[in-house]
Structure 1
Amino acid sequence: MTDVATRARTLLDLHTAPEILVLANVWDVVSAQVVAATPGVRALATASHSIASTFGYADGENIPLDLHLDMVRRIVAAVDLPVTMDFEAGYGDAGETARRAIEVGAVGGNLEDQLRPLDEAVANVEAVMRAGRDAGVEFVLNARTDAFVRAAEGATSEEKVAEAVRRGRAYLEAGAPVVFVPGAVQRDDIAALVEGIGVRRVTVISVPGVSLPARELQELGVARVSTGPFTQRVALTALQDAAAEVVAGGVLPSGTRPLN
C-alpha cells in the first residue's frame, strides 16, 4: 500500500499547487498510455461515461461495478502516474466502492451527490474519506455537487452558485479536499464559486467550445480542470472523420502517429 499512499499524496499536492491540475480523462489502457506519455501530464483521471461506452453500456452506473473496476485496475497497472476514478454516485455504497477502488490502485475519485438531501450526501463523503483512512491513504475525493446540472428549471445563476457553495462547504467540512461543480462554465459563476468555496478548492470540467482556457481558470483560483467524456468524443470524432474520408475515396490523415 506504500506505493498507493505515495501516489495519493502526490495527487493531493497537485490539487494545492499554484499551477492548475489539468486532467485529460482516459477510458482504457491505450488511451491512458498515450495521455500519460504526453509532456506535462502529471496524473490521470478515468471517465465513467467513456468506460461504460467502451463496453456498450449507457452512462449512469449501468456498467457492472466489477467490470468498471477491472478497467481501472488495468489502467493503474499500465502507467506510473496517480489515477483518480470516477465512480459516479457510489454504486449504492460509496464507502465500499471507494475501498474497492483503492484496492485496484485508484488514489482519488469523483462522487456525485445527485442533489440528494444534504445530510445523506455528507454521509457518503464521510464514508469515502473513512475508506481512505482505513487503507492508510490520503484519498483525494473530488466531491461532486450537481447544483448546476440538476438545478430546477428556471433557477438563476445566483441560486445555482449558492446551492453549490452550501453543499461544497459541507463536503469540505466532511473531509473532501476539493469540490467538483460540473456545468459551471461562465467566468462570473466560477469566480463566485471560488470565492464561496475557496481558492484551489473548486474543480470544473472543460466543455468544447464553451469553457474558459485552463490558464484563465488558474488565474481564477480553480484547483483542477478535467475533460470527462469529451476526450473520448474527440477521439471518436477523429475516427469518424477519417473513416468518412477513406470511404469517400481519400486516404488516412498524413499526420497520423504510431501511438500504439
Structure 2
Amino acid sequence: MDTDSRAKAQRFAELHREGCFLLPNAWDVGSARILEAAGFPAVATTSAGVAFSLGRPDHDFFAEQPPEDRVDRETMLGRVREIAGGLAVPLSADLEDGYGESPETVATTVARTVAAGAAGGNIEDFTGDRTRPLYDHKLSVERVRAARETLAADGEPFVLVGRTDALLVGGTLDEAVRRANAYLEAGADCAFVPGAADAETIGRLVREIDGPLNVVMGLTGNTLSLDDLRALGVRRVTVGGSIARAMYRRLLDAARELADQGTFSYATDQLSQTELNDLFRQGSRQG
C-alpha cells in the first residue's frame, strides 16, 4: 500500500470510531467522482452496479445465474483499482463472498483488495446455493478470521466488514445477531446486516451487536432518514445498488421513449456537457 492509499485507509478507519456516516455506492470512476464531488467523505462500490455496467446480473442463487454470468474476482478487482485510483477519498469494496469458499481464498481476495488501493471491504456469508444459502457458521467465522490475520500480517490499515445475509435468505434476527457478533469477534471492524429496514429491527441490532453496525437503505424505498438512523445508533449507512438501479431506470425509460414514440423529452433534465466536464476534470478533485 502506497503512502496515499495508507492515508486514505487511516481516514476511513477513523470514520468508524463514532457517530454515523453515509457511504454511497458507485460502480465506475464517473459515478464515484460524482459522489465524491457531492462531499461524501468516502465511497463504496456496489457489486450489483458493477455487474449491471458489464451487462451481467448481480450475484444470485446459482440456479438463476450460470457461472459464466458472474463477475469474477479479476474483473471486480480491476474495477476497484480503477475507482480507487480515480478518487481523493477512501474507497470501500464490495467483495461479495470473497470469490471462493475457503478461508485461504478469502484472505487472498482481501490482500489483493488492499493492493488495489481500497481502504476497506465487505465479506458476506451468502453462498448462492439454495440448499445451504449461508456458509456454515464455523466456516463463516474462519473466513473472516483468515482475512483479519492476513491484514494483521501485512500491517496495513483496512476496515474489514463482516456481512451476514441471514435476513435476506429467510433467517431469524437471532441468527443475524449471532453471526454478526461472531464475525466481529473473529476480527471484523464493522458488522453489516442487509434486510433490516424498520426502526424496531435496526434498534434491536444496534443493542445486541457488539460493535459498529452498517445498514443498507434505498432497497425498498425506506422511510427512515439518516437522522433517524443516527438516533438509533447506526454507525454506517450504505445504499447498495439503488443509485445504479435508479440510473438504469432512467436509461430504460429513455430507450422506450425513443423506440416507441420517437420523442426526446428524456433529455430535458440532463446534465450539461460543461457540468460533467467540470466534475471530471482532474484538477477539480478534492484533496
Same fold by TM-score greater than 0.5 = yes
Counterpart of 2:51? Answer: 52
Is the Cα–Cα contact under 8 Å of residues 26 and 47 in structure 1 kept in the other structure? yes
Q: Distance between the aligned counterparts of 1:23 and 1:65, measured in 2? A: 23
Match of 1:201 among 203, 207, 212: 212
- SS of 1:253's equivalent in the other structure is helix
CA distances 1:187-214 after superposition (whole Å, capped 9, x unpaired): 111000000004x611111124135211
Counterpart of 1:88? Answer: 96
Match of 2:203 among 188, 191, 207: 191
Give 1:1-260 correspondences, 5 Å limit. 1=1, 2-18=3-19, 20-39=20-39, 41-60=40-59, 62-92=70-100, 93-114=105-126, 115-152=134-171, 160-198=172-210, 201-206=212-217, 207-245=219-257, 248=261, 249-251=263-265, 252-254=267-269, 256-257=271-272, 258-260=275-277
Q: Distance between the aligned counterparts of 2:223 and 2:155, measured in 1? A: 36
Q: Distance between the aligned counterparts of 2:271 and 2:258, measured in 1? A: 14
Q: Distance between the aligned counterparts of 1:166 and 1:9, measured in 2? A: 29
TM-score, normalization: structure 1? Answer: 0.90
- SS of 1:22's equivalent in the other structure is strand
Counterpart residue identity of residue 44, structure 1? V
TM-score, normalization: structure 2? Answer: 0.82
Unaligned runs of 5+ in 2: 60-66, 127-133, 278-287
Q: Distance between the aligned counterparts of 2:248 and 2:26, measured in 1? A: 13
TM-aligned CA deviation for residue 255 of structure 1: 5.5
CA distances 1:52-92 after superposition (whole Å, capped 9, x unpaired): 22112222281121111111101011111110101100111
Q: Distance between the aligned counterparts of 1:227 and 1:86, measured in 2? A: 12
Unaligned runs of 5+ in 1: 153-159
Q: Distance between the aligned counterparts of 2:38 and 2:220, measured in 1? A: 20
TM-aligned CA deviation for residue 120 of structure 1: 0.6
